Amino acid sequence: MSGADSHQRDDRSVSQPVIREALRPVLDPELDESIVDLGYIDEVVIEPTPSADRSAVTVRFTLPTAWCSPAFAWMMASDAHEAVSTLSGVETTEIILQDHMHEDEITTGINTGQPFEAVFPDADGGLEAVRASLDHKARLARQFDAVDALLKAGMTPGQIVSLTPSDITDSSGDRTHIYLQDGSFAVSAPTEPLTEYLEMANEEGCLTGDDEPLFRTPKGEPVSIEIFEQLHRRNRSAKVNVNGQGTVCEALNESRRKALGRSDD
Amino acid sequence: MYSHEGEDIFVIDGHIHMWDASEENVKSKGGEQFIECFYDYHTGFTPEDRQWTYDEYRAYDADRLKDDFFTNGVVDMGIFQPTHLKDFYHEGFNTFDRLGEMADTYPDRFIVNGRFDPRDGEEGMQELERQANVRDMKGVKVYTAEWKGESKGWRLDSDESYEFLEKCVELGVKNIHAHKGPTIRPLNRDAFDVADIDDAASTFPELNFVVEHVGLPRLDDFCWIAAQEPNVYGGLAVAAPLAVHRQEKFGEIMGELLFWLGEDRLLFGSDYALWNPDWLVETFLESELTPAQEAEYGVDFGLETKKKILGENAAELYDIDIEEQKRKLQNDDVSVEYGLESMYSNTVGGAVADD
């Protein structure tokens, strides 16, 4: 082994919590939830490298079933690779997908920097199209949460459809103040559903400017007051879908981890 | 027949199987992974004291099925949905002909649906005709996400599929059960797509399209399509067992389904042996929406609604007159073997609940 002593290693910027925090923004694209919170990560290994101040990081993860969509598995592995490899104290990154029907193709493909289409030439449509359709679903579900929060804060449908991104910039921590009627009064709403919505709406690319409407129909058009109610109900079903599917995956994940002997408890 | 709050509830389990995933029958790694995945679904949503062992689960026979259905008399009838999967299992997984033996033995208890795959071409068309001739077939199960050679699946709204659907109309096969949901080898996101139901349902208004697993993970798309197509139904297989440990999520899903489809277009299914109807029916009957969910959705999930979902809606689709059927079942072999005769007399029956 190298001569790196334990003191040096402790000084490195890379640690278990640092890696897990870096992985936290990586989402299961179908469930719109962090792969760390979903319990997919089996193991993070940090080892020294010959360049004394940088580490070799290996992350092993398992999905709820052996045939979770290879496209989704690829996105998670690829996002995880990017999240870890861009940390300053990381020299090399290896992401290992375990117990999946395409574990070898995905693990090798990701770690050697190949594109999805090269590894799975028979998949219809590119990865970006899949990602875009999942982002779209996630945006609808997040729009439900954001609009729901605004309705609960006392805003009317008419006020909500008139909002623009620049109306929701005044946030102090947990609450955001939205000024109505030329700033004559403000409504206070929880910040999180609003920023989470904005993030995904930007990801999807349905917003057209800071002073253009904030909320959008599935096709990306501004929401008229006439369709507000029905649209809100449709978005509610997108939310229930993502919750329902999340529940199914959570139960499968628990069962599978027990069967594989990787249960936390 | 189950008795709940003083009322008889005629239960038709709309989605059942009798499969063989024994080691001898497994043909490929996919076959092994497939049954492993089923078993995870089973253990994930089954009360601990009702779970099967993995060996029991791989393959079970007609006696086991019969005991599970009729020992406590909760289920009255079941509809078999075949799943051939010949790429995975030498003799197939859950085949039309094997299921047929069960229906021949207990003709008033089981209905066997056929299946078709338009990629089988002319041969497939002949097979569909054969199936329809073997029995008075009113339904088929279709599995659009099934892999076949180079193909990763097919669409219900394709020209080839329409030829088969036309044949169904001609043969009097009027219920098309489409497996949309948890799927095998979904290399492409589109394996889950429910959009093809939309065109097929408007092109064939004389057929009923039952979307199994209510399209999860495309519940929202499914609800939207079903809201506009009156001949689209939802099969509750997979959704119903959420009532075991995830009551709140189950309530949300029921709220959505009742809001968009109403109480006349939903069918209960245990997906047996994924789950056992003997406890699942009870769990379903005892489930409720929270007051907040009732207020949010403005729907009724009371006993009358549950009775429709558990049996009356399926009876409608399969031309079963429930009162007449009770008379047939009163003295059939199953009733005699399990001592169920008194349940089917005119008085309130009273299946013995587990507790």
What is the complex's ipTM, to 2 decimals? 0.87
Q: Are residues B1 and B106 in the same domain?
A: yes
Q: Are residues B74 and B140 in the same domain?
A: no
- B224 shares contact with chain A (CB less than 8 Å): yes
pLDDT of amino acid A182: 72
Q: Are residues B120 and B225 in the same domain?
A: yes
In a domain, B253, yes or no: no
Is A40 in contact with A99 (CB distance < 8 Å)?
no
Nearest CA to B278 out of B108, B102, B103, B74 is that of B74
A260 vs A263, B36, B92, CA distance in Å? 8, 11, 27
Distance from CA of B231 to the nearest CA of A (A): 20
Label residue B350 by pLDDT band (50, 70, 90). Answer: low
Q: Are residues B102 and B118 in the same domain?
A: no
Is A127 in contact with A212 (CB distance < 8 Å)?
no
In a domain, B199, yes or no: yes
In a domain, B296, yes or no: no
CA angle at B210 for the pair B72 and B143, rounded to the nearest 5°: 100
Grouping H, G, I as helix, E, B as strand and the rest as coil, residue B303 is: helix
Domain C-terminal end among B188, B210, B235: B235
| Per-residue pLDDT tens digits for B60-78 | 999 999 999 999 899 999 9
Is B118 in contact with B60 (CB distance < 8 Å)?
no
Residue extent(s) of CATH 3.30.300.130 domains in chain A: 6-124
Q: Are residues B131 and B104 in the same domain?
A: no
Q: Are residues B131 and B199 in the same domain?
A: yes
| Per-residue pLDDT tens digits for B211-259 | 998 888 889 999 999 999 999 999 998 888 888 888 999 999 999 999 9
For an interface test with A, the pick among B185, B189, B211 (most A C-beta atoms closer than 10 Å) comes out as B189
In a domain, B314, yes or no: yes
Cα–Cα distance for residue pair A86/A92, rounded to 1 Å: 10
In a domain, B35, yes or no: yes
In a domain, B244, yes or no: no
- CB-CB under 8 Å, B256 with A240: yes
Beta strands B77-80 and B110-112 are parallel
At CB < 8 Å, which residues of chain A contact B?
30, 64-67, 69-71, 101, 120, 122-125, 130, 133-134, 137, 140, 233-234, 236-238, 240-245, 247-248, 251-252, 254-256, 258-259
By C-alpha distance, the chain B residue nearest A259 is: B40
Label residue B351 by pLDDT band (50, 70, 90). Answer: low
B264 vs A113, B159, B289, B290, CA distance in Å? 52, 30, 18, 22
By C-alpha distance, the chain B residue nearest A67 is: B185
First to last CA, chain A: 34
- Across the A:B interface, residue pairs with CB atoms under 8 Å apart total 109
Domain count for chain B = 2
| Per-residue pLDDT tens digits for A202-238 | 999 999 999 999 999 999 999 999 999 999 999 999 9
pLDDT at A12 over 70: no
Q: Hey, what amino acid is at B60?
A: Y
Cα–Cα distance for residue pair A140/B336, rounded to 1 Å: 55
Q: What are the φ/ψ torsions at residue A180 (nearest 5 degrees)?
A: -115, 165
User: Which tokens is A168 given?
Assistant: 């929701």
C-alpha radius of gyration, chain B, whole number: 19
Interface of B with A in 151-180 (CB under 8 A): 152
- B219 shares contact with chain A (CB less than 8 Å): yes
Tell whether domain A6-124 is in CATH 3.30.300.130: yes
Grouping H, G, I as helix, E, B as strand and the rest as coil, residue B177 is: strand
Is B70 in contact with B340 (CB distance < 8 Å)?
yes
In a domain, B225, yes or no: yes
| Per-residue pLDDT tens digits for A18-61 | 999 999 999 999 899 999 999 999 999 999 998 778 999 999 99
Q: Are residues B228 and B144 in the same domain?
A: yes
Q: Are residues B280 and B182 in the same domain?
A: no
Q: Are residues B13 and B88 in the same domain?
A: yes
**DSSP codes joined into one string, chain A:** --S--HHHHHHSS--HHHHHHHHTT-EETTTTEETTTTT-EEEEEEEE-SSTT-EEEEEEEE-SSTTS-HHHHHHHHHHHHHHHHTSTTEEEEEEEEES-TTHHHHHHHHHTT--HHHH-TTSSS-HHHHHHHHHHHHHHHHHHHHHHHHHHTT--HHHHHH--GGGG--EETTEEEEEETTTTEEEEEEHHHHHHHHHHHHHHT----TTS-S-B-TTSPBPPGGGHHHHHHHHHHHHHHHHHHHHHHHHHHHHHHHHTT----
In a domain, B140, yes or no: yes
- Domain hosting B340: range is 1-112+269-290+301-347
Neighbours of A34 (CB within 10 A): 17
pLDDT at B184 over 90: no
Cα–Cα distance for residue pair B222/B231, rounded to 1 Å: 13
pLDDT at B91 over 70: yes
Q: Are residues B180 and B280 in the same domain?
A: no
Say what angle helices A228-259 and A127-152 make with each other, to 10 degrees.
Answer: 120
| CATH number of the domain where residue B210 is located | 3.20.20.140
pLDDT at A71 over 80: yes
